[in-house]
Chain A
Amino acid sequence: MLEGDVAHRDTFPKLLALNARRFGARPAFRHKDRGIWRSWSWTETEREVRAYALGLLRLGLRRGDAFAILGNNRPKLYWSFTAAQWLGAIPVPLYADAIADEIGYVLAHAEARLAAAQDQEQVDKIIAVAERVPGLARVVYDEPRGMRDYDHTRLVAIDDIIAEGRRALAADPSLDAWLDAELAKGGAGDVCVILYTSGTTGRPKGVEIGSGRAIAAAANSVAFDRLDERDEVLAYLPLAWAGDHYLTYAQSLVAGYCVSCPESPETVAENLREIGPTYYFGPPRVFETLLTATTVRIADASAMKRTLYRYFMAVARRYGERILNREPVPPGARLLYALGRLLVYGPLMNALGFSRVRVAYTAGEAIGPDLFRFFRALGMNLKQFYGQTEAFILLTSQADRDVRADTVGPVVADVEVRIAADGEVLYKSASQFLGYLKDAERTAEAMTGDGYVRTGDAGFFDAAGHLHIIDRAKDVGRLRGGALFAPKYIENKLKFFPNIREAVAFGDGRDFVTCFLNIDLTAVADWAERNGVTYGSYQELAGHDRVIALLAEHVRAVNRDLAAEEATAGAQIRRFLVLHKELDADDGELTRTQKVRRRFIAERYARLVDALYDGSETVDVETEVMFEDGRKGTIAARVKIHDMASGAARAERAAA
């Protein structure tokens, strides 16, 4: 809902002009360069962008032209977006680590007229593919280092263009009015940006985002989290990623908050501490890395620190989230938590740079509940959302105090979500994309007959109205009885237990679900040591009765979890086995990014899969393996299969 000042501002440059008027002296951008943080106020930013727009005009940028932007987060690159939009041109950002070939494709496909590059490295890449883009008139760059001797007939520094623009304005004041007129020409229907998404198949698609829609979407989420001009954000995510464009560009212009750009990708952690953002986004991987780093630091700390940490983290786990959710908590506990904040949580959050975070989000993949609750227990208002580039961005988002680890939240304003018969999540959003650039065919493919957009993900709504994302839609199958079977969903739940390193679930077209498990050697060995379990080899440990009992407990817990939701209740794990060897990318069982190759594994271990479904209790296998030095060998083993109903229970009793 657009309110007050922001209403009727239907392009981003208009928002910039507005911010210059209502927040003039407040900082809009910061960048650490040569060791100092430099800042630009909204007024200064508008001045720079106006001059920049004039300069771009002189280079030949016209309404409707594409302006490619290639680099890391830098103020001048963000200004490139606005300057282009001012003239009615369309910015097209590319990933800084894209290779020349990808860049060549996008530049040619979008028919880029101008390109902005951050530094010599990016300029080199563009020059390498320049002949594929005959329409590319000029390349402008931010950092001049290393390009002194380059041919400057088609190369020019952004600083120089802005200076030229400034000179032009000084010489001819009527240009000011001209710029205002250009600004007014922009409207809600303009394409404000084209974001290329790399599909898993085929060439990247250019998602065209409409200006008015984008601003409306950003305004909704800004209101949702009450973001305003006093917030601070560190821009460290890829400039070309839709999420960054939303968080750092769209929302900042709507709310008027300040965006800080780090000195270099290596200094992000340090810059985070220096800036102390109030609004933060990180994919689950980032939080995982932070947790690991913290755990390692604590393990190395003095005994006293370790004891304090253990004690107060226990306090945090019990009361932290409840305090965050404003639930009633006994005063004694509150006091204890406050003491914990003084001694442990405060310093810890400070070291991570999160002391001032009011709102934090994570999204993109499933996050382990323990990890999620860890940060919430520390007092960080971490929430989840779900969305797509094509939706610009948000489809669902969790509200403060209605946060759960296993959902992505209820649907946001001005969005409608429907679950198709096969479980696919479909949506209609006021801010959805205009289409794929020059690709009517794939645009049609992405929509249903009645105008809903396909997300490609499968999910369901629970009783509280929160959306759960299960899996990629094409991976979701059905049991013979018709129950929904989402292998990755089940595998993720199993893998959230530290003792389980890898899991592969089977069940499509079968009567029930079964799975292979890999134990996590480090975690289980540690457990074995502490519980007096002896073993002579990986196989022995993997086959040990007490370990089986431990894993059975985990499987039982997952089954309980699945049973709790109507949509997934049908897929209960009835039998499982512990593999005699670890799944390995070298053997082709995992991809290089450690993802499970289900079909390959099913073929390779067909005997085991058959045994799981034909009721056998043991099965002998011989598996060919590749050792690290390249030699081949075979591992033979007798693998035991465990029933959740009776067999595992037997093992538990035997071990007791």
Chain B
Amino acid sequence: MTEAAGHVAAGETLLAVERISLRFGGVTALNDVSFDIRRGEIRAIIGPNGAGKTSMLNVINGFYHPQRGAIRFHGENLARMNPGFAARSGIARTFQNVALFRGMTTLDNLMAGRALKMKRGLFWQLLRHGPALDEEIAHRRVVEDIIDFLEIEAIRRVPVGRLPYGLQKRVELGRALAMEPELLLLDEPMTGMNLEEKEDMCRFILEVNSQFGTTIALIEHDMGVVMDLSSRVVVLDYGRKIADDVPDAVKQDPAVIAAYLGVAG
């Protein structure tokens, strides 16, 4: 098997942000931030509220365009990232306040995640026969595997707008997984969950990483989760990077402690 252009081996840099600066009017959301994400790792992005974590994900994902700096993905410099391009490149994303198709069922939401993988054109689909039907069935099989993995069979046909918050987050993870991404960006996947739900979510994230080799970058507030899951941590504070190391080192970093205590105290 020949290596595709830009193929990244495990342990090597999959995505790097270099000197990213982002401003909204007078507010500086990100100030000269650089870090990398290696293939196969779980990278945590932490920091006090307002540190710019979500903005960072939005930049990586293409929703925001930084005034300065660049994103390198698969070794290639990207001048303008946009959400469509990010999705097509293999980056999937979940949102802090859950961006699901609320009027559609869990199943439909996950099938929507397969949108990019569907090849057959409108004509074949109208016939609902032959290649289009086979494709639909194949995608449905993938989606059912994800439903089984996330243990959400019981809510398959429930419109997601009616689900409790914790389940919505799980469905959103499912939809991101349906895209079969190389890089999964999770924005506070545990918020609003009770202890049992958090444990389940951790289990799913670890499984996804170990079984499919998916690289994961996640924003998280729960320090316990961060320590358990991640291999490396980036700490942001007021838009600047103040630490970038393994979890144990970061936990003891005086600058990090000051940032958190300073905000709370």
In-complex A–B contact (CB below 8 Å) = yes
- Per the bound structure, the CA–CA distance linking A266 and B155 in Å amounts to 9
Q: Are B153 and A35 in contact (CB under 8 A)?
A: yes
**Interface locus among B95-103, B142-150, B217-225, B230-238:** B142-150
Q: Decide if A34 is an interface residue (CB 8 Å cutoff).
A: yes
Chain A nearest CB: distance from B105 CB in Å?
Answer: 12
Chain B nearest CB: distance from A556 CB in Å?
Answer: 47
Q: Decide if B154 is an interface residue (CB 8 Å cutoff).
A: yes
Nearest CB in chain B to that of A266: its residue? B154
Q: Decide if B141 is an interface residue (CB 8 Å cutoff).
A: yes
Among A33, A35, A36, A266, max chain B CB count under 10 A is at A35
Nearest CB in chain A to that of B155: its residue? A266
Q: Are B153 and A266 in contact (CB under 8 A)?
A: yes
Chain B residues near A263: list those with CB within 8 A. Answer: 153-154
Q: Are B211 and A148 in contact (CB under 8 A)?
A: yes
Chain A nearest CB: distance from B200 CB in Å?
Answer: 12
- Per the bound structure, the CA–CA distance linking A148 and B207 in Å amounts to 11
Q: Are A35 and B156 in contact (CB under 8 A)?
A: yes
Instruction: Select B154's contact among A33, A36, A145, A267, beta carbons within 8 Å.
Output: A267
- Per the bound structure, the CA–CA distance linking A33 and B156 in Å amounts to 13
Interface residues in B120-157 by Cβ distance below 8 A to A read 140-141, 144-145, 147-149, 151, 153-154, 156
Among B144, B151, B154, max chain A CB count under 10 A is at B154
Q: Are A270 and B207 in contact (CB under 8 A)?
A: no
Chain A residues near B140: list those with CB within 8 A. Answer: 35
Nearest CB in chain B to that of A34: its residue? B144
Chain A nearest CB: distance from B202 CB in Å?
Answer: 13
Instruction: Select B147's contact among A34, A146, A266, A270, beta carbons within 8 Å.
Output: A34
- Tell me what chain A mostly uses at the interface: helix, strand, loop, or mixed: loop
- Per the bound structure, the CA–CA distance linking A417 and B14 in Å amounts to 77
Q: Are B149 and A145 in contact (CB under 8 A)?
A: yes
Chain A nearest CB: distance from B40 CB in Å?
Answer: 16
Chain A residues near B211: list those with CB within 8 A. Answer: 148
Interface residues in A129-151 by Cβ distance below 8 A to B read 145-146, 148
Interface residues in A99-154 by Cβ distance below 8 A to B read 145-146, 148
- Per the bound structure, the CA–CA distance linking A263 and B149 in Å amounts to 13
Nearest CB in chain A to that of B143: its residue? A35
Q: Are B144 and A35 in contact (CB under 8 A)?
A: yes
- Per the bound structure, the CA–CA distance linking A603 and B156 in Å amounts to 53
Chain B residues near A267: list those with CB within 8 A. Answer: 153-154
- Tell me what chain B mostly uses at the interface: helix, strand, loop, or mixed: helix
Instruction: Select A264's contact among B141, B144, B145, B153, beta carbons within 8 Å.
Output: B153
Nearest CB in chain B to that of A262: its residue? B153
Instruction: Select A34's contact among B145, B151, B154, B207, beta carbons within 8 Å.
Output: B145
Among B141, B145, B153, max chain A CB count under 10 A is at B153
- Per the bound structure, the CA–CA distance linking A145 and B149 in Å amounts to 8
Chain A nearest CB: distance from B207 CB in Å?
Answer: 7
Chain B nearest CB: distance from A387 CB in Å?
Answer: 32
Chain A nearest CB: distance from B221 CB in Å?
Answer: 27
Contact with A along B180-208 (1 / 0, CB 8 A): 00000000000000000000000000010
Chain B residues near A35: list those with CB within 8 A. Answer: 140, 144, 147, 153, 156
Chain A nearest CB: distance from B247 CB in Å?
Answer: 22
Nearest CB in chain A to that of B154: its residue? A266
Known: A34-B141, A34-B147. A146 touches B207 (CB 8 A): yes
Chain B residues near A36: list those with CB within 8 A. Answer: 144
Chain A nearest CB: distance from B213 CB in Å?
Answer: 13
Nearest CB in chain B to that of A269: its residue? B154
Among B145, B148, B149, B156, max chain A CB count under 10 A is at B148
Nearest CB in chain A to that of B141: its residue? A34
- Per the bound structure, the CA–CA distance linking A267 and B151 in Å amounts to 11
Nearest CB in chain B to that of A143: its residue? B148
- Per the bound structure, the CA–CA distance linking A148 and B156 in Å amounts to 27
Among A34, A145, A146, A263, max chain B CB count under 10 A is at A34
Known: A35-B156, A146-B207. A264 touches B151 (CB 8 A): yes
Chain A residues near B148: list those with CB within 8 A. Answer: 33-34, 145
Nearest CB in chain A to that of B157: its residue? A270
- Per the bound structure, the CA–CA distance linking A169 and B34 in Å amounts to 63
Chain B nearest CB: distance from A349 CB in Å?
Answer: 21
Interface residues in B46-90 by Cβ distance below 8 A to A read none
Chain B residues near A148: list those with CB within 8 A. Answer: 211
Q: Are A270 and B154 in contact (CB under 8 A)?
A: yes
- Per the bound structure, the CA–CA distance linking A496 and B156 in Å amounts to 38
- Per the bound structure, the CA–CA distance linking A263 and B140 in Å amounts to 17
Nearest CB in chain B to that of A267: its residue? B154
- Per the bound structure, the CA–CA distance linking A263 and B151 in Å amounts to 10
Nearest CB in chain A to that of B149: its residue? A145
Chain B nearest CB: distance from A148 CB in Å?
Answer: 7
Chain A nearest CB: distance from B239 CB in Å?
Answer: 40
Chain A residues near B207: list those with CB within 8 A. Answer: 146
Chain A nearest CB: distance from B220 CB in Å?
Answer: 23
- Per the bound structure, the CA–CA distance linking A145 and B147 in Å amounts to 13
- Per the bound structure, the CA–CA distance linking A33 and B141 in Å amounts to 11
Known: A35-B144, A146-B207. A264 touches B154 (CB 8 A): yes
Chain A residues near B151: list those with CB within 8 A. Answer: 264
Contact with B along A34-58 (1 / 0, CB 8 A): 1110000000000000000000000
Contact with B along A528-548 (1 / 0, CB 8 A): 000000000000000000000
Chain B residues near A146: list those with CB within 8 A. Answer: 207
- Per the bound structure, the CA–CA distance linking A36 and B154 in Å amounts to 13
- Per the bound structure, the CA–CA distance linking A146 and B153 in Å amounts to 18
Chain B residues near A266: list those with CB within 8 A. Answer: 153-154
Chain B nearest CB: distance from A534 CB in Å?
Answer: 40
Contact with B along A231-269 (1 / 0, CB 8 A): 000000000000000000000000000000001101100
Chain B residues near A270: list those with CB within 8 A. Answer: 154
- Per the bound structure, the CA–CA distance linking A146 and B208 in Å amounts to 11
Chain A residues near B141: list those with CB within 8 A. Answer: 34
- Per the bound structure, the CA–CA distance linking A36 and B144 in Å amounts to 9
Chain B nearest CB: distance from A260 CB in Å?
Answer: 15
Chain A nearest CB: distance from B15 CB in Å?
Answer: 27
Chain A residues near B147: list those with CB within 8 A. Answer: 34-35
Nearest CB in chain A to that of B146: its residue? A34
Nearest CB in chain B to that of A270: its residue? B154
Chain A nearest CB: distance from B142 CB in Å?
Answer: 10
Nearest CB in chain B to that of A148: its residue? B211
Chain B nearest CB: distance from A460 CB in Å?
Answer: 45
- Per the bound structure, the CA–CA distance linking A284 and B144 in Å amounts to 35
- Per the bound structure, the CA–CA distance linking A145 and B145 in Å amounts to 11
- Per the bound structure, the CA–CA distance linking A389 and B154 in Å amounts to 33
Chain A nearest CB: distance from B149 CB in Å?
Answer: 7
Chain B residues near A34: list those with CB within 8 A. Answer: 141, 144-145, 147-148
Which residues on A are within 8 Å of B, measured CB to CB?
Answer: 33-36, 145-146, 148, 263-264, 266-267, 270
Closest 8 CB pairs of A and B: A266-B154, A34-B144, A35-B144, A267-B154, A263-B153, A264-B153, A267-B153, A34-B148
Offer 8 A-B interface pairs, CB within 8 angstroms, sorted by A: A33-B148, A34-B147, A35-B156, A145-B149, A263-B154, A264-B154, A266-B153, A267-B153
